[in-house]
Amino acid sequence: MDINVQELKERLDKSDDSFILIDVREPHEHEEFNVGGQLIPLGSVPHELDDLEEHQDDEIVVYCRSGKRSGVAQSLMEQAGFKNVRNLEGGVLAWIDAYGTT
């Protein structure tokens, strides 16, 4: 099940640390604006799966610019046995539409 920007913002505002937030965009995109996720560019996701293995049963939220790359990351992670990976619907573009960049 995916997650929308409103639910993610509510959880971040409450300092909810029960999930892992991963930005699968490129470093320059992450530097321009991010919502606080750990940067793991999509091309690096397959190589980082071992490091994330301890979180296979944890909730993980992935995001990118529009939701496409994070959808690919979600699929890769699910194929590797991660059980609760959620894609941010609309990505950073939806976040900016709803909340701006501040």
Active site residue: 24, 45, 61, 64, which one?
A: 64
pTM: 0.96
Tens of pLDDT, residues 26-55: 999 999 999 999 999 999 999 999 999 999
pLDDT (average), residues 76-89: 98
First to last CA, the chain: 27
Tell me how far CA of residue 62 lies from CA of 57, 73, 88, in angstroms.
Answer: 15, 7, 6
Distance of CA 18 to the CA centre of its chain: 14
CATH of residue 83: 3.40.250.10
- Position 102 pLDDT exceeds 80: no
Res 8: pLDDT: 98
55 is catalytic: no
- Are 54 and 26 contacting, i.e. CB atoms less than 8 angstroms apart? no
- Say how many domains are in the chain: 1
Residue range of the domain that includes 43: 5-99
Average pLDDT estimate for 12-34 = 97
